[in-house]
Amino acid sequence: MKPLLFAALCLTASCASGQYVLGPDSQPQEGVPKGIITKHVLAPGKYYPGTPHNYSIYVPAQYDASKPTAFMIFLDGSGSLGNAQRVPVVFDNLIAKHDLPPMIGIFVDPGVLPAASPQVMSRYERCYEYDSLSTRYSQFLIDELIPEVAKKYNLTKDPNARGLAGVSTGAVGAFAAAWNRPDQFRRVLSFIGTFVAMKGADELPGLIRKTEPKPLRVFLQAGKNDHIVPEQPYGTFYAGSWPVNNKVMQEAFESSGYDTKLVLGDEGHNMKQGAAIMPEALRWLWRDYPAPIVVKEPEGMQRAGWDPRGKVYSLVSADKGWQQVGETYKTVASPVGSSDGIVYFADPAANRIYKSDADGKVSVFKDSSGGSAALAAASEGRLYAAQPARKRIVVYSASGGEKTVAQNVEASSLAVSAAGVVYFIDAARKTIGMVDAAGKVRTAYQGNDLAQPSGLALSPDHGMMIVTDAQGRFSWSFQVGLEGALINGEPFYRLEMPESGWMSEARSAAVDAIGQVYFATAIGIQGTEANGRSAMILNAPEHGVVSAIAFAGKDWNWLYAAEGGKLFRRPLKAGGVAPWVVGKLPKPPL
């Protein structure tokens, strides 16, 4: 911070008042067992090549190597260790009082890439590591830092017993790591967090509101005078207002049902208040431990005026999560719902098609399936399958009899209309083909708008065809013409993109009974209103990318999702319709 700005901030009454002081829990206490602190250097790894990281480890006196031990990682670790914050002293006192479990502290500093010669500048990694919303920093912690510490100490693998803390930009890094990997971290301390428009953190409140809540507990602290001076009450910095954006974060958490707390004080961009309340913040963060942190539906759902439109909890329930169907297979592709609650799915690597009944019991439907990779269900228990290696599309009867529908076609996704028209994507040519009711193969769409067409889904009235683009942000809506051609296409559905990588991975779509469309993407299952607006994001069953989704079940109120070699399902409050039934859609909200 520039000296003049710091001086201006400290002219406020709150800076002069000295109201924030370190209390007894931040002072060394006689008779309290003291932990041991050691210093280390983490060698350069793959996530920040050539860049070492300095870190320190605090080990409490009560450490028992025979038991997995809780731990917290503090970004900008040297500051947390210093006399201003005194985190090790706080740990000593709170552990002795049993307000914290015996806990290891990992205090890591941002990396600095050493200069190649005295004449050139080193590369300072702090903003790159902390400000980004990508998964890189979380992977650095999970794959490089934590395993190195675990060589010496017995660290727990329970995400409920693993916390993160950060200051300023470090607060963004701590939260982003937990947001991206709640399967690894569940507790976050954020002090004077920079949730502003520097490298995307200002987008977090919108994502928090529309994303299915994750099992996180988040403590926020901010100062009313953070980058605020009397002459510039809306903020001195180009990226926005620190106090306002922390408040917006807190409101987003509250609206989505998170266990969260915001303490807003009178200081500027410093840790005076944060250090003073550190003991109480840690107590709040770890209260009721080892009781797990669980997702709860927002309290607002039970209050008058709650608007269900586009809400995650209008579709799913917090206590009814994903269930695995069957075992782990070589691959799982293209789940589709059929009659009587049956779900078919392909395992191209095993050259099989499986079916699951309404109770989730899985059996082999077709062995030696010709490498079937894309499926589509039709009336009377018929199942269409694309066999890329044989360059053909076939249809199976309910008993498994096979009939060729089209030859010399390369199909990677299928959709079948009530009139018996079979649509397919030719990924190599970036076209959409069709096999009409007479068996003639034609081109339904040929254009240059779709970078990587991947998935097809007909609207319930069969008037529109949704086409996903696995590369771009937008998926497309085409009108189905009188002769089946796809016309009047628009990039209608705007999806949220992953922070790292340049592909949406939108490879599959499903449509519910009121025309809302759901897309399997890199960041989860994204739901859009019928008007094309992004409304909700369901979390993937496991950490990874959902490759395909489908509505199914006897009442079409189960959502199935393929991820890796696993198939999952969860019950819905709403659902889809049989693909061979033509329904009438309500007018979409505007």
Distant-in-sequence, close-in-space partners of 220: CB < 8 Å, separation ≥ 6: 190, 193, 246, 249, 250, 260, 261, 262, 263
Rounded average pLDDT per 10-residue block, the chain, 590 residues = 35 49 97 98 98 98 98 98 97 98 98 94 95 96 98 98 98 98 98 96 96 98 95 92 97 97 97 98 98 94 91 95 97 96 97 97 96 96 96 95 95 95 95 94 94 96 97 96 95 94 93 96 96 96 96 96 97 93 91
The pair of three-digit structure tokens given for residue 134, joined into one six-digit string: 């990508």
What is the residue type of 425?
I
C-alpha 46/C-alpha 139 separation (Å) is: 10
Task: Tell which residue, 326, 365, 334, 333, has the closest CA to residue 349.
Answer: 333
Amino acid 18: pLDDT: 59
Task: Tell which residue, 456, 434, 473, 444, has the closest CA to residue 511.
Answer: 456
Amino acid 502: pLDDT: 85
How many CA atoms lie within 13 Å of 231's alpha carbon, on the beta-carbon side? 6
Residue ranges covered by each domain of the chain: 3-300, 312-571
Amino acid 574: pLDDT: 87
How many CA atoms lie within 13 Å of 404's alpha carbon, on the beta-carbon side? 11
CATH T-level fold of 312-571: Neuraminidase (2.120.10)
The pair of three-digit structure tokens given for residue 243, joined into one six-digit string: 């106090």
The pair of three-digit structure tokens given for residue 424, joined into one six-digit string: 């397919």
Give the count of beta carbons closer than 10 Å to the beta carbon of residue 502. 9
Q: Give the predicted TM-score (pTM) of the model.
A: 0.94
Amino acid 315: pLDDT: 94
Task: Tell which residue, 174, 134, 132, 47, has the closest CA to residue 523.
Answer: 134
Q: What angle do CA 169, 170, 172 make, to 5 degrees?
A: 70
C-alpha 228/C-alpha 246 separation (Å) is: 14
Amino acid 541: pLDDT: 97
C-alpha 422/C-alpha 77 separation (Å) is: 59
Q: What angle do CA 443, 444, 447 make, to 5 degrees?
A: 85
C-alpha 561/C-alpha 507 separation (Å) is: 12
- Model pLDDT for residues 16-50, shown as the tens digit of each residue: 345 899 999 999 999 999 999 999 999 999 999 99
Amino acid 437: pLDDT: 87
Amino acid 6: pLDDT: 33
- Model pLDDT for residues 480-509, shown as the tens digit of each residue: 998 999 999 999 999 999 998 889 999 999
How many CA atoms lie within 13 Å of 251's alpha carbon, on the beta-carbon side? 8
Amino acid 120: pLDDT: 94
The pair of three-digit structure tokens given for residue 293, joined into one six-digit string: 């942190």
Amino acid 590: pLDDT: 87
Q: Does the domain at residues 3-300 carry the CATH identifier 1.10.287.110? A: no
Give the count of beta carbons closer than 10 Å to the beta carbon of residue 407. 11
- Extract the runs of DSSP E, i.e. beta strands, from 31-79: 36-42, 53-59, 70-75
Q: What DSSP designation does 142 have?
A: I
Amino acid 531: pLDDT: 96
C-alpha 85/C-alpha 275 separation (Å) is: 5
Please say whether the beta carbons of 546 and 521 come within 8 A: yes
